[in-house]
């Protein structure tokens, strides 16, 4: 059963009680991310996330680690373009201890300079890890091209210069300004009783005063497509081709999800079948959606041989033209609906996934989206609606391109693009 409350200081609490489970997944979601930064502080949200477990006046970093392990659960954190999340899954009997611990970390993290120095080195290694993983690096390069100077083009890691210059004062000031009650959401799914859950958080967060500055997010304006080749000595050429899509709350979101599934969302998708199965041009190929509060993107990603780059680009363009001109066949649409609906319900068996879905629905829609409502929304989509949306996304503008690997600008057949 879904419940929602707002604590006296403005922190929102959403929960879903799931019968017949002994576990509960809890997340503290702060609506602050990389898009809320600029050139001089990009990477701060991610640095704060790293420092969350590094000590309070009453707990050292080692004591925090020991306490989390003693709770017998799993704990982690992540930063995205629009939010930062600190989460854990534990047995229900350990929920009060988890709330006490996480509230202490949220309110009282010290950001001690000695810990900042240690974690700085960890984050710099994370930069190296991304650069050693071209599948990851190219996504950052593509986002920077697609969004340009808009903050959605910021990377979560930020810049080395910002990380090198980070100190305890900057981190503490960032949290004081931006970790405000109106941007904090606590979500839980599993063996949780909502009223007692709220009481525990109200007591634990009593030191968090109402108020705080609101973030002014500016919606991006679509720009002409940018296409860049980043020459690098790799075994493969990695490609991302994509365009702008829809915000998370768009009425056509169900059409977009099914369009993505048909285009490149699974093994039977058109791009996977044509590029991998029929032509053997890539090991992995697929399309992905990014949903933001005021915009979004759809991008096709793959790795291929240098000699096959233009052939692959041609196939992608042909599949996009086909999906705008030819109605999706009834069987293909039915299969996409079944796959996507099944994925929704299968994810619901995981408490962490369920908690995440609760939080994202609250952030995007301000309410719960029941699984049955989402399934009904998918079922109602028609082939004609998918064709209209494909026309809107792909016919009105051409694709942006990012290439990373052993090739140069002149190796691309630019006549494949309009």
Cβ neighbors of 351 (< 8 A, separation 6 or more) are: 18, 21, 23, 24, 25, 89, 189, 190
Distance separating alpha carbons of residues 303 and 395, to the nearest angstrom: 25
In a 13 Å sphere around the CA of 46, the CA atoms on its Cβ side amount to: 23
On the question of a common fold for 2-204 and 227-416, the answer reads yes
Between the alpha carbon of residue 21 and those of residues 25, 93, 305, the distances in Å are 11, 12, 48
In a 13 Å sphere around the CA of 221, the CA atoms on its Cβ side amount to: 1
Tell me, what's the pLDDT at 72? 85
The mean pLDDT of 1-30, rounded to a whole number, is 96
In a 13 Å sphere around the CA of 335, the CA atoms on its Cβ side amount to: 14
User: Cβ(201)–Cβ(13) under 8 Å?
Assistant: yes
What predicted TM-score, i.e. pTM, was given to this entire model?
0.95
Tens digit of pLDDT for each residue in 137-148?
999 999 999 999
Alpha helices per DSSP H over 159-308: 160-165, 168-178, 194-204, 253-260, 270-271
Two structure tokens written together for 376: 């009904």
Give the CATH superfamily of 227-416: Metalloenzyme, LuxS/M16 peptidase-like (3.30.830.10)
Among 29-33, 204-208, 330-334, the range scoring the smallest mean pLDDT is 204-208
User: Cβ(27)–Cβ(184) under 8 Å?
Assistant: no
| Domain with residues 2-204, CATH architecture | 2-Layer Sandwich (3.30)
Which residue reads 């240690």 in tokens? 118
Residue 87 has φ and ψ, to the nearest 5°, of: -140, 160
Helix (H) or strand (E) holding 321: helix 309-325
Tens digit of pLDDT for each residue in 236-280?
999 999 999 999 999 999 999 999 999 999 999 999 999 999 999
Active site residues: 49
Question: What is the per-residue DSSP string for 176-207?
Answer: HHH--GGGEEEEEEES--HHHHHHHHHHHTTT
Could you tell me the residue ranges of all domains in the chain?
Answer: 2-204, 227-416
């Amino acid at each position: 059963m879904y419940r929602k409350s707002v604590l006296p200081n403005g922190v929102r609490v959403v929960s879903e009680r799931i019968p017949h489970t002994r576990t509960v997944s809890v997340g503290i979601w702060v609506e602050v991310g990389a898009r809320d930064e600029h050139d001089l502080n990009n990477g701060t949200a991610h640095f704060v996330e790293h420092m969350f477990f590094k000590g309070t006046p009453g707990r050292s970093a080692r004591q925090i680690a020991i306490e989390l392990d003693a709770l017998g659960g799993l704990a982690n954190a992540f930063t995205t373009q629009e939010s930062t999340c600190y989460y854990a899954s534990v047995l229900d009997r350990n929920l009060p201890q988890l709330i006490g611990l996480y509230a202490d970390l949220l309110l009282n993290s010290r950001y001690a300079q000695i810990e900042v120095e240690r974690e700085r080195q960890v984050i710099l290694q994370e930069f190296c890890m991304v650069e050693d993983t071209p599948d990851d690096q190219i996504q950052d390069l593509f986002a920077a091209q697609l969004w340009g100077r808009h903050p959605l083009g910021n990377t979560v890691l930020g810049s080395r210069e910002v990380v090198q210059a980070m100190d305890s004062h900057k981190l503490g000031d960032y949290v004081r300004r931006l970790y405000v009650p109106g941007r904090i959401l606590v979500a839980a799914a599993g063996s949780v009783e909502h009223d007692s859950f709220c009481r525990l958080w109200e007591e634990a967060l009593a030191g968090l005063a109402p108020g705080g500055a609101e973030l002014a997010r500016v919606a991006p304006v679509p720009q002409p497509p940018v296409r860049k080749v980043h020459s690098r000595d790799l075994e493969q050429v990695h490609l991302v081709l994509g365009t702008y899509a829809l915000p998370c709350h768009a009425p056509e979101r169900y059409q977009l999800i099914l369009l993505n599934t048909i285009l490149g969302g699974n093994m039977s998708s058109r791009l996977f079948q044509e590029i991998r199965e029929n032509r053997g041009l890539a090991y992995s190929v697929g399309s992905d959606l990014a949903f933001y509060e005021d915009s979004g993107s759809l991008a096709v990603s793959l790795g291929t041989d240098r000699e096959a780059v233009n052939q692959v680009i041609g196939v992608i363009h042909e599949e996009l033209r086909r999906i705008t001109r030819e109605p999706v066949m009834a069987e293909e649409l039915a299969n996409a609906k079944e796959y996507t609906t099944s994925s929704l319900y299968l994810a619901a068996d995981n408490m962490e996934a369920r908690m995440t879905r609760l939080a994202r629905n609250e952030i995007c829609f301000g309410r719960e989206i029941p699984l049955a409502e989402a399934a009904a929304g998918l079922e109602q989509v028609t082939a004609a609606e998918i064709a209209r949306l494909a026309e809107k996304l792909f016919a009105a503008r051409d694709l942006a391109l990012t290439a990373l690997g052993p090739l140069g600008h002149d190796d691309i057949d630019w006549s494949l693009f309009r």
